[in-house]
Amino acid sequence: MTDHAETLGGRHAVVTGGGSGIGAATAAALLQAGARVTLMGRDAVRLDAQRAALGGGDRIACASVDVTDETAVETAFAQAADGLGPIDILVNNAGQAQAAPFTRTDAALWRRMLDVNLTGVFLCTRAVLPAMLERKSGRIVNVASTAGQTGYPYVAAYCASKHGVIGLMRALALEVATQGVTVNAVCPGYTETELLRASLDQIMQKTSRSEAEARSQLLRHNPQQRFVTPEEVANAVLWLCAPGSSAITGQSISVSGGEIT
């Protein structure tokens, strides 16, 4: 991890999907940089476990929330601000992926991908933006995907949702460009998380391939021939939140081993 010790001292960051994977790694990086952090997610038990793993203390809190539920989002963010102070940083990391051929992508799957991956970003951003604009200071970082920068077969709904996240980010970044708030996206390639594990399991079940063969299939377009680590994504998020990154806005930054250039 790049040394950002105490660069975010006094800042309050909310990380959605903070109970594991990229969210947990991001929370750890923000804490290391001196921020106060509220972990948000649907699973309260997992959030509490992650809070303990990160050292607990009075600089970290948890809030259980379904990011697709407008009322629940408003309540959770109000409670977070009451608990650890005004929210200076929002990391929209909560997300979900599910594969299916387009002809078998029903309306329920389509809505689920858009609700979690895109509407969740909209609702959480709307919860923090007015106060950021009032203070003329804020950082919003959306964890999108290379699926928001290119297309992949069998994940049309997921790709559409992540393209939507990047479009939303670009529009909002321009809207608030003169008001002290930056809005960016990091776009991980295949990353060593539970989502990757689910993708590997799906390939193995449907094709009878071994895990090594499934991994090779996912890596075939990656120049580095390896999966990204959650810590590498977290480091990119941390950079975008740092005081020296105020000129970076409206960007979708690929963290993918050169897959997207």
Which CATH number is associated with domain 12-190+229-245? Answer: 3.40.50.720
Closest of 226, 102, 88, 233 to residue 157, by C-alpha: 102
Q: What local confidence, expressed as pLDDT, does residue 158 receive?
A: 97
Instruction: Say how far apart CA 245 and CA 24 lie, in whole Å.
Output: 22
And the tokens for 159? Answer: 């790709």
Digitized pLDDT (tens) for each residue of the chain, 261 residues in all: 445 567 999 999 999 999 999 999 999 999 999 999 999 999 999 999 999 999 878 999 999 999 999 999 999 999 999 999 999 999 999 999 998 999 999 999 999 999 999 999 999 999 999 999 999 999 999 999 999 999 999 999 999 999 999 999 999 999 999 999 999 999 999 888 877 777 778 778 878 888 888 788 888 888 998 989 999 999 999 999 999 999 999 999 999 999 998
Q: How far is CA 54 from CA 20, 50, 181, 216, 243, in A?
A: 11, 6, 28, 33, 24
158 catalytic, yes or no? yes
Residue with tokens 């379904």: 66
Q: How far is CA 232 from CA 52, 186, 189, 229, 254, in A?
A: 22, 11, 11, 5, 11
Q: How far is CA 102 from CA 10, 87, 183, 190, in A?
A: 47, 39, 31, 21
Q: How far is CA 210 from CA 99, 173, 215, 216, 244, in A?
A: 19, 44, 9, 10, 45
Q: What local confidence, expressed as pLDDT, does residue 203 receive?
A: 79
And the tokens for 129? Answer: 């933006």
Q: CB–CB of 64/41 below 8 Å?
A: yes
| Amino acid at the residue 30 | L
Q: CB–CB of 212/243 below 8 Å?
A: no
User: In the chain, what are the domain boundaries?
Assistant: 12-190+229-245, 193-227
Rounded to two decimals, the pTM is 0.93
Q: CB–CB of 7/243 below 8 Å?
A: yes
The active-site residue, picked from 152, 154, 158, 190, is 158
